[in-house]
């Protein structure tokens, strides 16, 4: 990523230029490829459903990859659907005032209304209009689900070891 980006207390304080979003999108595509090619899997046969049911795992490993590459601390956003128990997760890079600068929705293509590629943009993901019930927003490491489901952390650690992206 370009040298002109500045980080203060783990948050980016300047926005990406369009060419930078392309580099970020390439990293997200590479992470998706690694998720399908590495030996590790969050649960048996889950790769067969990709990208469905991968939004949390994908967001976590991408956030950890970005953090370890020195590309900021990304906010993990988990939202529920207004009409039922379904949910979705994505990442946002926010400034010190909690304003969204960049959104990564790595698995938006699981939905009929989604795109063919991961969503990487300075605008909000369309999923935010479909999933409107807040569940969690903050560092993925503090997501309350981790207290009762260790598979997310186990997979993130395996991804770091096996993906070759860090």
Write the secondary structure of 13-44 as one string of H (helix), E (strand) and C (coil). Answer: CCCCCHHHHHHHHHHHHHHHHHHHHCCCCCCC
CA dist 146 to 14, 77, 102, 142, Å?
Answer: 31, 14, 25, 8
Nearest to 104 by CA among 79, 122, 131: 122
Start-to-end CA span in the chain (Å) = 14
Q: What is the mean pLDDT of each run of 10 residues along the chain (166 residues)?
A: 45 50 93 95 92 96 93 95 94 91 95 86 94 97 96 95 93
Output the pTM of the full model. Answer: 0.87
pLDDT of res. 1: 38
DSSP structure string for 73-110: -PEEEEEEETTSS-EEEEEEEE-TT--EEEEEETTGGG
pLDDT for 9 equals 52
């Amino acid at each position: 990523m370009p040298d002109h980006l500045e980080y203060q207390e783990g948050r980016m304080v300047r926005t990406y230029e369009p060419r930078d979003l392309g580099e970020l999108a390439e990293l997200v595509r590479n992470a998706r490829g690694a998720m399908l090619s590495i030996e590790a899997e969050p649960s048996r046969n889950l790769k067969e459903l990709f990208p469905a049911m991968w939004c949390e795992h994908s967001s976590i490993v991408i956030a950890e990859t970005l953090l370890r590459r020195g590309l900021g601390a990304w906010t993990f956003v988990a939202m529920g659907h207004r009409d039922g128990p379904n949910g979705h997760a994505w990442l946002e890079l926010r400034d010190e005032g909690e304003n969204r600068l960049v959104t990564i929705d790595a698995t938006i293509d699981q939905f009929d209304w989604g795109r063919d590629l991961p969503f990487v943009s300075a605008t909000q993901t369309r999923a935010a209009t479909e999933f409107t019930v807040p569940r969690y927003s903050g560092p993925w490491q503090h997501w309350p689900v981790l207290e009762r489901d260790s598979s997310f952390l186990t997979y993130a650690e395996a991804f770091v070891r096996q993906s070759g992206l860090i």
